Structures are given as structure tokens and as C-alpha cells.
Structure 1
């Protein structure tokens, strides 16, 4: 059963919202669905900061829906012990959903100026909806009705979002462009079984590295020096290897990211989903007409830091090096620091 946790807050010192009406409309929509037995709606109102971890842990929802006030970069407005406004920061929300990313598939922030929080939470959750400006009660309610009408009909999250926006537009409300979705589509619907890595009993190195003596890296013929890598299966001790980077315009960044992802995703790690999320963010950015290279760099940095903690990272460093060298060349001077993660230097 898919659990939908609807959280709401309307502090005393904020304008009054029709939150009860929104909840009622969502519940009515479910009752009209032939698939109503497949969903459970749980509502929690007058939300306080401490309630967030409590409710997410207790209810274990698939979808988290927040209705209330947003304050842009300052965060979302919850309630304190006296019912007054208490803001919860964007950074704190992102960290919270990092803890529940194995459980939560979708987050809907039906609050003004919540796009900032949506972008931060999307680092960890595959689908997040936020609002790029203020949104009125009527538009917010119509969006929810459209979104859940599609969901209760078995549609995917993108269709749910589109239905929500269309429901606003059908009413002649100009705010149909206010909701924004952050979504990534996974290449794998479920975790793939990880084959154990066979080791040489004498040197405890993976079979991929048996007989490999040449530690030089070739990137368009411009690499110099050598790296000596020692250590056991889990730990790499790397003497830095000097590398000359290719011209940025010669780099096929899509191909390089794809290769890095394929190498790293074979590692045995509990952070697999975090690594996937980071690569999805990077690849989503490079598809834009003018990609933000800093966004790509930040995402790649996250992926590599999680990968370094994985069992067997030492065994794939040599494979990563040439592709990371080309990628950092494309990213520019600000991201040459990534080379140090795999023992390279300029």
C-alpha cells in the first residue's frame, strides 16, 4: 500500500489558509478512485519541528505532502510550542530527507516560494514539487486535486504534476506555471545483485588488477608521470601522479560521465542510491542548453566522496583516473581539485 503523509502548519501569526479544505478534497478524490484500497492517507496538522522526524519514522510514507507557508530561502514555516511561526531551514530539510531517501519517493511542497527547498531535497529524493512564487489557496487546492487524481489512477509522478498544473489552468487561474517539478528517472527500477569480487589470496587485489604493472594514465597522450597504489581491498594509498589535461572543447562530457557512473555504480556500497542521485543531477544539468558547470562539479564531487567510502574503491581508481581527468578539464579550473580524490595532480 502507498502511504501519503499530509503535513500542514498554519501558525497563529501568519495569514489563514484553507488547509482543511485541501485535505478534504484529496480524501474525496481517493474515495472516488477505483484504486482507493491501494492508498492510505495520513494527516498531521499543526506541525512542529520535532514532529518531522517523528512522523516520517513512525508512518514510513511513500509520499510526503506539506501544505502551509514558505519563506523562500529562509525555509518553511512550522509551529513552535505556542502555535507561532518557527522556520525550518532549507539545509536542515535536505539533511532530513537524506535520512529517509530509501523510503520516500516523492515530496510535494504546496507552499509559497518553496522551489528553493525542493531543489535541496531533490539531491536525495527522486521527485520533488515546489512553487516558484506565491500561490493562492484556490490554485494550491486545484493543483492537489489534479495531482492526486492522476496518482490514484495509476499515473507516474510526471503525469501527476502535469495534471495538477492543468487543473489550475482549466479554472482560468494564471498560477498554472507556479508549480515546478524536480524529477530524475532511474535507469534501474530495483537494486541489481552485486557479484562478489574475487581476490588473489596472495596480494588481496581484485582480479581486474591481477598482472597490471603499468600505473601510467593516458588521456589523449598528454599524461606524464606514474602513480603507485598500495593498500588492501578497502584502502588506497596513492602517490600523486601528474597529469596534463586535454582542451575542454575536445571532451565529450556526456560520454565521460556515463563511463564514470558505470565504473562507480559497480562498487558494493550502502550509499548506492546517493551516488545514483548525484550522477542523475549531473547528467540532468548537462542536457540544458547552457549547463551550469559548478552544478555538475558539485554533483560529481558528491558521487566521488560517497564512492571513496565504498568497499573496493582502490581497485577502480586506475579506471576512474583518465575519465575524471577529461571531466575536470571540461569543468574548468574551479574543479581541478577533484583530481586529488583519485591521486592525480596538475
Structure 2
């Protein structure tokens, strides 16, 4: 059975939202589904920051749905002990979902300007939905109904997202492009029906007539040696100077695959974090015009976790030629990755 934990917060000092209506519509959608016995909806309202770890630990949900106010870079608005707004930061949310990544498959942030939190949480959670701008109550509720109509019909998360956006569009609401999804393929998704991850749509709409929106206002060369440590191994690394090939000569897919295969052989408790990072990089590499900084950030994250693994020091020699070529393809901003395997230019 999939558990859906719906967390809602509408602090006293923020505009009033139709959150009860959203919860009611989701529950009604489940009751109309022939698969209703396969899902359980758990609701928690007036959520405070301290409630987050308690509710996730207690309920162990498959899906976490937040409805309320968002504040962009400042985070999501929960409540304090007096019912007033208390923001929870993006970084804190990332750390929270890192702890629950084995249980949670999907996070839906039905709040304004929550795209930043969604992208950050995606480091640990395979499917995350956020909003790229302000979203009105009507659009937010229609998205939820469409999303869960598909989910309760046993569709995969990409289909759920698409149906949510379509539900907004069918009503003639111009906010159909406001929801954004970050998703990677996993074994729990139906392989035959998974669509490629959609690139983010940058369409912006500011028409929120007739309802409240869900926002609140608020260089040089290196020489020498280093110590490379892992859980059970230590090795002295002397930095070696290396010449990088021309970027256009690099088969980035081949080099990336080689790096992934070498690191996959390491014994580590951070295996899923490493795979998530590689999956994010792979998704970007496949695009016609990949964002090299996004690839570099994901690869840096994977290597950061891999460095803590048993046997990393012994894998450095194998990693060096492939990371050299990958770094050449990534460009000057990512020459720093060479230092992770004892190289410099």
C-alpha cells in the first residue's frame, strides 16, 4: 500500500488558502478509484517545523505532499508555536529528505516559487514537483486532482505530472506550465510506460485572478601532495601534471560511463546518493545542449561521496584518465575536479 502524507500549513500572518478544499478533493478522487484499497491518505494540518521529522518517522510515507505558502529562496512557510509563519530553509529540507530517501518516492510541493526546493530535494528523492512561480488556489487544486487521478489509476509519476498540468489547461487556466518536475527512472516505475524526463518549461504566467496565490514575501597551478582517506584506507597522493585533450575530441558518454562503472565497484553506504548524482548528470548529458555546470555539479557530488568509500584510493589510477577527459569536456570551471584524483594542469 502506498501512503500519501499531506502536510498543510496556513500561518495566521499569511493570506488565507483553500487548503481544506485541496485535501477534500484528493480524498474524493481516491474514493472514486477502483484501486482505492491500494492507497492510504494521511493528513496533518497546521504543521510546525518540529513536526516534519516526527510525521515522516511515524507515517513512513511513499509520497509527501505539501500544500501551503512558498517563499522562493527563503524556503517553505510552516507555523511556529503561536501559529505564525516560520520558514524552513531549502538546505534543511534537503537534509531532512536525505534521512528518508529509502521510504519516500515522490515529493509534491504545491506552493508558490518552490522550484528551488524541488531541485535541491531531487538530490535524494527520485521524483519531486515544485512550482516555478506563484500559483493560485484554483490551479493548485486542479493540479492535485489531475495528479492523483492518474496516480490512483496506477500510472507512473511522469504521467501523473502530465495529467496534473493538463487538468489546469483544460480549465483554461494559464498556469498549466507553472508546475515543474525533476524525475529519474527507478525500478518502482513501470518500465513500459515511462516517458523521457521533460526539459523544464520556462513559460511564465502571472494571471492569478479570483484566488490567493501560494507565496509569501520575504586559479593558478598546484603542486605538492595530499592525503586521500576513506573509511578504512589511507594513501599518499602526489599531484601529477596532466595535459587535457581538446573538448571536442572527448566522447563524454563513454568517459562518463567508465567513471560510473569504476565507482560502482566501491563498497559504500552512500551507494544511492552516488547513483542519484550520476543519474542527474546522465539526464543532462543526454540533452541536445547539456548544461555543463549541472553535469559538473552532479559529478562533484558523486565523487564527494565516493571519496568516503572503502577502496577509493586504489581506484584513483583507474579514474584519472577518464576524469581528465571529462574535465576537458566540462571546461575551465571544473578543472578543480582533477584534484580529487591527484591531478593538476
| TM-score (norm: length of structure 2) | 0.85
CA distance in 2, matches of 1:74, 1:24: 29
Indicate conservation of the 8 Å contact 1:147/1:160, yes or no.
yes
Contact 2:76 2:88 survives alignment (8 Å): yes
Tell me, yes or no, if structure 1 residue 76 matches structure 2 residue 81: no
Instruction: Quote the residue 2:279 is aligned against.
Output: 280
231 and 135 in structure 1: CA distance in 2 versus 1, 3 angstrom threshold: closer
Structure 1, unaligned stretches of length 5 or more?
Answer: 191-228
8 Å Cα contact 1:113-1:134 kept in structure 2: yes
Q: Give the structure 2 partner of residue 113 of structure 1.
A: 113
Matches within 5 A, 1:49-68: 49-68=49-68
- The residue aligned with 2:297 is 298
The answer (yes or no) to whether the contact 2:230–2:307 under 8 Å persists in 1 is no
Are positions 1:104 and 2:111 aligned together? no
1:289: how far off?
3.6
In the alignment, structure 1 residue 333 sits paired with structure 2 residue 332: yes
**Are the counterparts in 2 of residues 247 and 329 from structure 1 also a CA contact under 8 Å?**
yes
Which residue of 2 is the match for residue 216 of structure 1? none
- Structure 1 residue aligned with 2:218: none
C-alpha separation in 1, matches of 2:273 and 2:313? 19
Task: Kindly state the Cα deviation for residue 269 of structure 1 after the two structures are TM-superposed.
Answer: 1.2
Q: 1:161 to 1:317 in 2, by over 3 A?
A: same
Q: The residue matched to 1:81 in structure 2 has which SS?
A: coil
Residue 123 (structure 1) aligned with residue 127 (structure 2): no
Match of 1:266 in 2: 265
The Cα shift of 1:231 comes to: 10
Q: For residues 20 and 276 of structure 1, what CA distance do their matches in structure 2 show?
A: 38
Match of 2:3 in 1: 3
Determine the structure 2 residue equivalent to 1:344.
343
**TM-score (normalised: structure 1):** 0.85
Report if the CA contact (8 A) 1:61-1:104 is conserved. yes
Flag structure 2 segments of 5+ consecutive residues without an equivalent: 190-227
What is the CA deviation profile of residues 217-255 of structure 1, one whole-angstrom value per residue up to 9, with x for unaligned ones? xxxxxxxxxxxx999973333222221111111111122
User: In the aligned structure 1, how far is the partner of 2:158 from the partner of 2:319?
Assistant: 34
Aligned 8 A contact 2:230 2:311 in 1: no
Residues of 1 paired with 2:230 and 2:284: CA distance? 36
Question: Are 1:127 and 1:183, in contact at CA under 8 Å, matched by a contact in 2?
Answer: yes
- How many residues of Structure 1 are paired with residues of Structure 2 in the alignment? 309
Change over 3 Å in CA distance of 1:259–1:292 after alignment to 2 = same
Contact 2:231 2:310 in 1 (8 A): no
Aligned position for 2:319: 320
Question: How many angstroms does 1:270 deviate by?
Answer: 1.1
Q: Tell me the distance in 1 between the aligned counterparts of 2:229 and 2:152.
A: 55
* TM-superposed deviation, 1:173: 1.1
More divergent stretch after superposition (261-270 vs 153-162)? 261-270
Q: After TM superposition, list the pairs within 5 Å mapping 1:160-175 onto structure 2.
A: 160-175=160-175
Supply the RMSD in Å over aligned alpha carbons.
Answer: 2.1
Q: Distance in 1 between matches of 2:188 and 2:66?
A: 26
* Structure number with bigger Rg: 1
